[in-house]
Amino acid sequence: MRFRLNATRCFAFFWRAGIFLLPWQIRYFFETSTAGGSWEQGRISIYLSSIFLLAAAITAWISSRSKIGPPCLIKKPRLFAAGLILLLIPSFLTWSWRASFEWWLEMMSLSVFLWSLVRMRTPLRSVLVWFIISIIPHAFLGLWQFFSGSVSGTKWLGMASQDPLVRGVSVLEIHGQRILRAYGGFPHPNVFGAWLALGNLAALWLAYKAESLKKMAVWIFFLILFTIALFFTFSRGAELGLFFGMSCFFVISFVRHRCLRIQDLTFLIPCVIFLVGAGFYWPLFSSRVEATGRLEELSLRERQVSVQTGFSRFFQHAVIGTGPRTASLAKTSRVPAFQIVPEPHLVWLLILDEIGFLGMIGLVMIFGSLNARLVFSPGMGAFLAALVLFSFVDHYLWSYWSGLSLTFFAFLPAFLAEAPALTG
């Protein structure tokens, strides 16, 4: 009995630590050589955060063995098994077993962690609080990076050095000057911006449900902090995702309550911050909005080529795809030999490229077999709306560990209830 009680306490620590470490890209590579040159997806690695996610799942299994009638994540086991088989087929016929194996490691880490949260009846509110806490150091780090003009890399935090004078670094080019965009501890400003946008929506959700003005003020502070940091990422997709999600949040809230509440005024805060920021940094802001600069035109052209290559790959491998995480290892009619190319900036096309129609059907079957509750609520509507917008402007939701983790958080409200926790 005491052993299970200690396991419950360990679970409470591990799931919090796992969420806090998720934004950090700290990992260990098991091999230094890569297939086809410098190709990150072709190297097997393990993230520090995934170790804590696995530890949370193990301690949840130990502590919940004696409980009667724990909540079940899988509602239809046969449908789940059939979907899993369909999803495994592209993985067995993959272009790179290393890349596909790495994707499965990441997916399994998030899956068992989701199971542990559901198994232990972890309240959604607690998870959202720790999600916000995990983003706070990155928000301050991003502000420091923008105003200092560089990113100091360190392997102990999983951060690469970013010099705005070096080609390939995400910058804004104004009158011959290269201005660094905020990275935080993430691999790209667009990924950082997406996390900040979802963090904003989580803070908005908690402010909406706050029992007092004092508690609401705390979440509004983080809403302000994350919005300022989001501005300096200059990520158009993340900014659009934030405002689209907030719009859905307040439309659903108004429909449900038939009136405006004091919490609805928080919608004005990001609007004011972006207006003020645009006024102070108009040359930088307008360069992203108008997309007329040399780098902006080059970025748009590369995105167009990546989508065209993605469609070419899809038409050749429509049934089973090329295997998870192998879309960047292109070999199509447009690219006749294996070489590293950018993934299409469209998640749905990228998924079809890698797992084909067969794998896509498997994914739908797996999600349909889970005990999910897609209810009509402002918070869930905001999260899913932002996620949908992100999926149409970039690829990180599927191709990066940090993007998969963000997708995981966006769907959490469908599985967790806002109820007292068994874990304290």
pLDDT tens-place string over residues 146-166 = 999 888 878 888 888 888 888
What tens digit of pLDDT does each residue of 5-45 get?
578 889 999 999 999 999 999 998 876 544 444 566 667 88
Take residue 261 and report the two structure tokens written for it: 């509440």
Split at pLDDT 50, 70, 90, the class of 2 is low
Q: Are strands 339-340 and 329-330 parallel, antiparallel or unpaired?
A: antiparallel
Fill in the amino acid letter for 1.
Answer: M
Q: What is the pLDDT of residue 43?
A: 75
Averaged pLDDT score across all residues of the chain: 85
Please give the span between the terminal C-alpha atoms of the chain, in angstroms, as a whole number.
Answer: 17
Measured distance CA(334)–CA(179) in Å, rounded: 34
Residue 194 near residue 238 (C-beta atoms within 8 A)? yes
What tens digit of pLDDT does each residue of 96-122 get?
888 899 999 999 999 999 999 999 889
CA angle at residue 238 from 352 to 365, to 5 degrees? 30
Any bridge partners for residue 46, and if so which?
28
Helix (H, G, I), strand (E, B) or coil at 159: strand
Q: What is the pLDDT of residue 13?
A: 94
Give the largest Cα separation in the chain, rounded: 68
Measured distance CA(180)–CA(88) in Å, rounded: 41
Q: What is the pLDDT of residue 340?
A: 64
